[in-house]
Structure 1
C-alpha cells in the first residue's frame, strides 16, 4: 500500500461515523433478510432433525439440499439482465427481482415448516431445495444491490453492517425460531415457527424502497447474440482474464472449509451432549450474538490496520483455532459454561473473518457484472460448505466429537497455505468496482476519497 493511501486513511472516529451513513444502514437491513433463510436450512434444520431423531450421518448429507447456493452463478446472468415486466420499469432491476423472489420465498418457507421430516423426508427435501433456490436467488440480488449501493469508501463499513444484519438474521432464525417451536418457549410448533420467521424478508424490502435503485448498469441490447455475449460470456471472461484468477477461485473454495465442517455438526453435538433448547438459546443470545457483533465491528478496522492479505491470514488463523474450543467442549461434556465460551470465541472470530472475506469478494466484482461475478465467487465458497463437508457425519461417527473437531482444525490449514502462495507470487487483484462507459439507473454516487478503494485490495 502506498504512503499516500496510508495518509488518506480516516481517523478512528471518522471510521465509526461511516457505519451510521444511510447506505451502510441499508446494508444492515439487507443483511437481516439475506442471513435468515440459510440459517433455517443449516443450523435450525440440523437442530430440528436431531430433535426428531434423524441420525447424524443422514443430517450430514442433508446439507446437499442447499446445492442451489453452489450453482447460483448459472442463473445470476438472468438476474443481471432480464427485466421483470412492469415492475422493473417502476422500481428498477434489482428491487423488482428482490420483491418477486421474496414473495415466493415466504410461501416456500411456510411449506418447509409444515413438511414434518419425522414422517418422511421426501416433502421436506423438496421444499428445502425450493427454499434454497429462492434464497440463493435473493442472495444474488441482495449482494449485487449492496455492492452497487455502497461507494468505495463505504464498502468495508457497509460490508461490516451487512454482516451485522446477516448475523442478526442468523440469530432470529436460529435461536428465535427454535424458541418459537420449542415446548420450553412459545410452543407454536415447527410449521408456524418457520412461517413466522419468513417475514424477516421485510427489512430488505423496506430498505430497498428507501435507498433507491443503486448503480445498476443498464445495457442496450441490439441482438440475441449480443445479449448472450453481455449476459453470459463477458462476466466470466472478464474475471478469468485477471492475474491469478484460478488460484483465487481455489482459495475461495477452501478458505473456510474447516469452519463449515465444524458448524455443520455443531447442533447434532449439542443435542447429543444433552443441552436443552433453552441452554442452546441462551448461549447464542447472551454470548454468541454479542461476541459476533464485537467481531463484525472489528472487521473493518482489521482491514484498515492490516491490509487485505494480512487480515485474511490473521482472521483465518483465528477461525481455525476457534474449532479447538468445541473439541474441549466435547471432552468436558454437558457444561453450559464451556458451551458459552466455545460459542463466544467462535462467533467473535467468525465475525471478523466473514467481514474480511465478504469485503474481499465484493472488491473483486466489476460493477458492470455485479450479480454474476459475485455469484461466481460466493458459489465457489458455498461448494466447500455444501459438498466437500457433506461426509462430516461419517467423520464425526468414526472419530468421535473431540477427534472430529481436531480434524476441522487441520482442514483449515490448506486454505492458509494457499493464501501465502498467492501472496508470495505477488498476485494483487485490484478492485474491479469501476463502471463501464454506459448509463446507469441512478446518477453516480458522490465522490469519496479514492485512496479508500485500497482497503479492498489483497496485499
Structure 2
C-alpha cells in the first residue's frame, strides 16, 4: 500500500470507527490492570495479593471459547457486530460504576468479582471489536487499520492509565472509576452513531437471536439454582449438568435443536473436570511425597500459585475435548481451519512470546514507580498523560508508516527489539533512583498545577529519567502492538474472523495475565533491578522464533489474487 493510500484511510468513516473502537477496547483494560493495581496499592494490599489479583484477567485468555456464539448469533436491527458492541459496552459501564462504590481493602472478594466481570465483558467486547476491524477493513488497509486501532487503544490506555491517576490524586479512585464508567456508557451511544453498519450473514434472523437469548436465560436459571443447592467444589459441575438436562428435555422442544449450547456446556464441563483433576492430582502427589502443606490454600505462596496455573492449564485442553465430543462445530470448524495452516503451532508460540518481555516488565510497573522509586500518583499520571500521549501518537503514526516500508517481518523484528530496549529505562530507575538525571519544570498554567499541589501531589517538575522510561515504553509498546495486530489479522479467515482473532489475541494476553502472579514473588526474591534484567532476557526467545519463521511471515504479507 502506498503512502498516499495510507494517508487516505485515516480520513474515512470506517477508520474513524476503528479508532473509536480501539479506544473503547483499551479503556477497561487498565481498569483491571495498572489502575486497579494502583488502587489496591493505595488501599494497603500487599504485593503478593496484588499479583494474584492479576488473575481476574483470565477472560482475556479464554475469550475464544465463547467467541463462536458471538460469531453465530447477532442482535437484530443494528447490523453485524454492533448489537454485541452495545451489550458489552453497557455492561462495562454498569460494572465500573458498581466497582466505584467498593473499598478494595475491606471488600476484596466482591471487588475481585466485579473486576472479573469487567474483564469478562471487556474480553467479549474485544472479540467483537477485533472481528469488526477485520470485516470493515479492505485487504490493502490491514496495516493502516492495525495502526489506527492500536492508536485508539493506546490513547484509551493513557486515559485509564494516565489521566485516571491525575483524577485519583484529586478525588480518589472510587470517583475516578465512576467517571470512567460514565465515559463507557457514553461510548456505547457514540459507537452506534459513528460505526458503519455491516450486512448480516445470510443465515441471520431476528427470531433466531430471540430464541437463543430465551434458551440461554433458561439454562442460566437452571445452572444457578443447581449450583446454589449443591455448593462446594461440585457446584460448577452441578450447574453444567442441570443446564445440559434442561436443554435436552425442555430447550430442544421450545427453541429447536440447540446443539450449539449443548456444545458450549460440554466445553464448560470439560473445563471443570480439568480443574478438579489438576487440583486433586497435585494434592495426591503432595501426600505421596509427604508434603502436608502441598494444598491449594497452602501458606507457601509459590505452592498456591502452582495450583492455580496447573488448574488453568488442565482446564483448557479438556474444555476443547468436551467441545469436540459434543460436536461444537461453531468452535471446532474454525479451529480446524486454523490448524490446517503450515506452522500453525509455531505461530501460536510466537504470539505468546512476542509481547512476553513487555508484559513481564509492565505488569508491576505502577507498583514499582510508587513503592520502588517513590513517585506520587500525580507525577506518574502527568508524565504518563503528557509524555506518554505524545510518544503514543508519534509511535502510532510513525509505526504505521514504517510498517508500509518495512513490511510485516522487518516491522515485527525491529519493534520487538525496541520493546526489549525499552525496559532499560525501568532498570535504570531501579539502579539509580529518582532524580538521577535531574528534573525539568513544565511550563503549565498555575490553574492546572494547583490541582496537584496538595499532599504528595505533583509540583510541575518532570523527572527526566522517568520521562525517558515512559517515552520508550509507550513508543515501543505502540509499535510492537501494531505489528502484532497486523500479524493476527493476516492469520485470520474472514468467515470466522471473531473466533480466529479471539483465539490468536487470547494467546497474546497470556504474558499479561499469567506473568502477573509470578512477578510479585520474583520482585521479592530478586529485587527490582534484577527483575527488569530478567524481563529483557524473557523477550529474546520470541525474536529468535520470529527469525526462524521469517519466510512464513513474509509469505503471509505477500499480496495474493483472490
**TM-score if structure 2 supplies the norm length?**
0.71
Mapped partners of 1:389, 1:122: distance in 2: 18
- The CA distance in 2 between the partners of 1:124 and 1:114, in whole Å, is 9
Which residue number in structure 2 is paired with residue 49 of structure 1?
40
Is contact 1:24–1:154 with CA below 8 Å preserved after alignment?
Answer: no
- The aligned residue for residue 194 of structure 2 is 210
Question: Any idea what SS the aligned residue of 2:549 has?
Answer: helix
The CA distance in 2 between the partners of 1:429 and 1:99, in whole Å, is 37
Task: Work out the CA distance in 1 between the residues paired with 2:130 and 2:393.
Answer: 20
Counterparts of residues 413-424 of structure 1 (less than 5 Å):
413-423=540-550
Tell whether 2:387 aligns with 1:287.
yes
Q: Evaluate the alpha carbon distance shift between residue 295 and residue 241 of structure 1 in structure 2; reply closer, same or farther with a 3 A threshold.
A: same
1:107 corresponds in structure 2 to: 94
Counterpart in 2 of 1:3? none
The equivalences for 1:250-261 within 5 A come to 250-261=349-360
Counterpart among 327, 339, 342 of residue 469 in structure 2: 342
Residue 179 of structure 2 corresponds to which residue in structure 1? Answer: 196
Task: Tell me the equivalent position of 1:25.
Answer: 16
User: Does the CA contact (< 8 Å) of 2:48 and 2:520 recur in 1?
Assistant: yes
- Is 1:140 matched up with 2:95? no
Moved more, 29-38 or 90-99: 90-99
Q: Distance in 1 between matches of 2:111 and 2:340?
A: 42
Residue 323 (structure 1) shift: 0.4
CA deviation profile, 1:111-145 (whole Å, cap 9, x unmatched):
22222112141111111111111111111111111
2:112 matched residue in structure 1 = 125
Deviation string, structure 1 residues 369-408 (Cα, Å, up to 9, x no partner)? 0111000001111112111442011111111111111110
Determine which structure has greater relative contact order: mean sequence separation of CA pairs < 8 Å that are 6+ residues apart, divided by chain length.
1
Partner residue in 1 for 2:270: none
**Aligned-residue offset at 1:167:** 1.2
User: Does the C-alpha gap of structure 1 residues 91 and 259 become closer, same or farther in structure 2, counting only changes over 3 Å?
Assistant: same
Candidates 52, 64, 70, aligned match of 1:61 = 52
Contact 2:163 2:382 in 1 (8 A): no
Alignment CA distance shift 1:162-1:194 (3 Å)? same
What is the deviation of 1:293? 1.0
Task: Render the CA deviation track for 1:82-123: whole Å, top value 9, x for unaligned.
Answer: 23xxxx221123111111121111111112222211214111
CA distance in 1, matches of 2:136, 2:5: 20
Query: Residue 518 of structure 2 aligns with which residue?
Result: 391
Distance 2:402 2:20 in 1: 23
RMSD: 2.2
**Which residue number in structure 2 is paired with residue 446 of structure 1?**
none
Aligned pairs for 1:173-252 (under 5 A) are 173-182=160-169, 185=170, 187=171, 189-201=172-184, 202-203=186-187, 205-214=189-198, 217-219=201-203, 230-252=329-351
Give the aligned length: 417
Structure 1 unaligned spans of 5+ = 1-8, 432-449, 455-459
Once the two structures are TM-superposed, the CA of residue 350 in structure 1 deviates from its matched residue by 1.1
CA contact (8 A) 2:97 2:182 kept: no
By how many angstroms is 1:203 displaced?
3.5
1:81 aligned onto 2:68: no
- Cα distance change, pair 82–28 in 1 and its aligned pair in 2 (3 A): same
Where does residue 430 of structure 1 map in the other structure? 556
Cα deviation, 1:408-458, whole Å, max 9, x if unaligned, reads 00000111111112226x465637xxxxxxxxxxxxxxxxxx95x79xxxx
Query: SS where residue 262 of structure 1 aligns?
Result: helix
Query: What is aligned with 1:277?
Result: 377
Of 36, 50, 60, 2:27 maps to: 36
1:380 and 2:371 correspond: no
- Seen in structure 2, the aligned counterparts of structure 1 residues 427 and 285 have a Cα distance that, compared at 3 Å, is closer
Per-residue CA deviations over 1:41-60 (Å, capped at 9, x if unaligned) read 11101111112222222212
1:176 to 1:24, Cα distance in 2 relative to 1, 3 A: same
SS of aligned partner of 2:14: helix
Q: Which residue of 1 aligns with 2:399?
A: 299
Among 389, 407, 411, which residue is 1:311 paired with?
A: 411
Classify the secondary structure of the residue corresponding to 1:118.
coil
The 1:204/1:351 distance shift into structure 2, 3 A limit, reads: farther
Bigger Rg over Cα: 2
1:159 corresponds to 2:285: no
TM-score, length of structure 1 as denominator length = 0.86
Once the two structures are superposed, residues 289-347 of structure 1 have per-residue CA deviations (whole angstroms, 9 ceiling, x without a partner) of: 11111111122222221221111111101001110111001112123111111000111
